[in-house]
Amino acid sequence: MKKRKLRSYVLPTIYLVVLGLMAFGITFLSQNLLETKEKQDDDYNFTMSVFGETEEPKEPPSNNENEEKKEELKIINPYSGENVSIAISYYDKNDTEENQTKALIYYENTYMPNTGIIYGGEKTFDAVAIMDGIVKDKKTDEILGTVITIEHSNKLTSIYYMIKDSTVNIGDTVTRGMKIGTSTESTIQSKTKENLLFEVYLNGNITNPSEILGKNISEFL
């Protein structure tokens, strides 16, 4: 039997078909790999977002936020303790005659207007700084006991009278609520056993302490 020969164009055609199939296969495989990677990336990002790992880091509060928090701080009472109340109020020239009479201090047959507030109680209580400041003066008075002056700002200065067991000295920095001493017995006021006289100077002028206590600290800086 006579062998048949392949025609000259058959083999090149087969090669071209094989090469085309290979090229198609490579393209298809590359596309599948790319789609698989994109899906994996999407799944990863979804998982991370669920667990919160892709959240942007929180920025620290701005200076404005810090200032707002600072403005929320209030000036506190100059004492700390239970059953402490106002024994003698500030003498206000514009107040009623009845209230003015209650705001007088009696000492050695003499009545004097009270230039601050006298706080009293039956038990010893602490005297505390109404806000941050620096101790500017400390002295001893025969009648008023230890007297401590604290400068809180260019606007505000407070003075504590009738102090004993003082815990601060001139030049010390005090912080809001810090103990500076304790109340004591006094010869000028006998309504309560323990007393503390507290004065305030605002812009260099004696001022009713009630007008600044409980107010925002920022108003007096």
Amino acid at 3: K
64 inside domain: no
Shared domain for 159 and 86, answered yes or no, is: yes
Distance set, CA 168 to CA 77, 116, 150, 175 (Å):
18, 22, 10, 11
Return the pLDDT at 42.
Answer: 56
Return the pLDDT at 50.
Answer: 46
For residue 60, the SS3 value is: coil
Shared domain for 19 and 91, answered yes or no, is: no
What phi and psi, each to the nearest 5 degrees, are found at residue 175? -115, 160
For residues 68 and 88, give the distance between their C-alpha atoms in angstroms, rounded to a whole number. 35
Over its length of 221 residues, how does the chain's per-residue pLDDT go in tens digits?
555 554 555 455 555 545 555 655 555 545 654 565 555 555 555 444 444 544 555 566 555 555 555 558 999 999 999 999 999 999 999 999 999 999 999 888 899 999 999 999 999 999 999 999 999 999 999 889 999 999 999 999 999 999 999 999 999 999 999 999 999 998 786 688 999 999 999 999 999 999 999 999 999 99
Shared domain for 88 and 176, answered yes or no, is: yes
Shared domain for 131 and 32, answered yes or no, is: no
Shared domain for 17 and 80, answered yes or no, is: no
Shared domain for 53 and 83, answered yes or no, is: no
Return the pLDDT at 187.
Answer: 79
Return the pLDDT at 46.
Answer: 46
Is the pTM above the cut of 0.85? no
Q: What is the CATH number of the domain that holds 169?
A: 2.70.70.10
Shared domain for 51 and 80, answered yes or no, is: no
Shared domain for 92 and 153, answered yes or no, is: yes
CA gyration radius for the chain? 42
141 inside domain: yes
Q: For residue 134, what is the DSSP state?
A: E
Shared domain for 112 and 181, answered yes or no, is: yes
Beta strands in the chain (DSSP E): 79-80, 85-88, 104-107, 110-113, 117-121, 126-128, 133-141, 145-151, 156-163, 173-174, 179-182, 194-202, 205-207
Return the pLDDT at 188.
Answer: 82
**Domain termination site, one of 58, 88, 105:** 58
Angle, CA of 52, 56 and 62, to the nearest 5°: 130
Domain count, the chain: 2
Domain span at residue 216?
73-220
Name the nearest CA neighbour of 138 among 175, 164, 112. Answer: 164
Gap between the terminal Cα atoms of the chain: 119
Shared domain for 113 and 185, answered yes or no, is: yes
Name the nearest CA neighbour of 190 among 92, 99, 115, 87. Answer: 87
* Structure-token pair, residue 183: 């109340």
Distance set, CA 105 to CA 35, 64, 132, 161, 186 (Å):
91, 46, 30, 14, 12
Shared domain for 99 and 208, answered yes or no, is: yes
Q: For residue 167, what is the DSSP state?
A: -
Shared domain for 21 and 89, answered yes or no, is: no
